[in-house]
């Protein structure tokens, strides 16, 4: 796998995660981003021992986009602290089925993760294990795909919960195009498991220089190609 590296120095590596690749170490023999990053570091500077690669955030396997990995423990601590203090800005594009009631808005829900079935659900605030989930969205363009109205939506994550965008958009009546887990109109046995969700932009402070860095990658995939703004 050829890595599309957007930036690299001694502390961090910013890379585009392809659709269909796990963002952390996989339990199978399939490629995963951590293994590929380690191979890249070893190729650049072979040395004894396994290189350190810190996972700061995650993208679902069927979702592509910008990710940052730490190459030192100090960088990992700094970046993880930015995540917990909401200083790392993540912007996504999604194609949803239907159209949100408003062109601009925010969803604030409580999500509960069902680890046994690898899914999350919107629940009441008082449920044990429920976590606050917040995102802001903007409808960019509407288009009919087949016989269904779809909306290209720009989403800014304020929290980072398991399957958050997929769960919240579905829970508010506009599930993601191609999402077999949360979109009831998508057949579970379809060949394509790609979800029309892409991590477009990532912004954070460099762990050493403290300079604000921003990286963007245009969304890829069939659903996004139906909208003209990226191509």
Catalytic amino acids? 60
* Core vs surface per residue 173-212: b (16+ CB within 10 A) or e: ebbbbbbbbbbeebeeeeeeebbbbbbbbbbbbbbeeeee
Closest CA to 123 of 133, 115, 138: 133
- The CA-to-CA distance between both ends of the chain, in Å, stands at 24
Whether residue 169 contacts residue 176, with contact meaning beta carbons closer than 8 Å, is answered with: yes
Closest CA to 62 of 23, 16, 93: 23
């Amino acid at each position: 796998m050829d890595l599309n590296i957007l930036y690299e120095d001694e502390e961090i590596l910013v890379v585009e995660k392809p659709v269909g690749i796990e963002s952390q170490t996989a339990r199978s023999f399939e490629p995963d981003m951590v293994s590929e990053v380690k191979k890249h570091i070893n190729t650049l500077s072979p040395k004894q021992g396994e290189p350190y690669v810190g996972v700061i955030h995650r993208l679902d396997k069927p979702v592509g986009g910008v990710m940052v990995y730490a190459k030192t423990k100090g960088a990992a601590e700094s970046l993880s602290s930015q995540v917990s203090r909401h200083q790392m800005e993540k912007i996504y594009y999604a194609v949803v089925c239907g159209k949100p009631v408003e062109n601009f808005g925010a969803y604030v829900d409580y999500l509960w993760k069902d680890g046994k079935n690898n899914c999350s659900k919107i629940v009441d605030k008082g449920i044990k294990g429920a976590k606050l989930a917040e995102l802001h969205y903007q409808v960019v363009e509407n288009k009919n795909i087949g016989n269904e109205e779809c909306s290209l939506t720009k989403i800014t994550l304020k929290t980072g919960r398991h399957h958050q965008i997929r769960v919240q958009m579905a829970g508010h009546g506009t599930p993601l195009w191609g999402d077999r887990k949360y979109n009831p109109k998508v057949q579970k046995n379809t060949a394509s498991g790609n979800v029309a969700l892409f991590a477009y932009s990532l912004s954070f402070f460099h762990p050493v220089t403290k300079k604000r860095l921003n990286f963007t990658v245009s969304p890829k995939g069939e659903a996004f190609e139906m909208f003209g703004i990226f191509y």
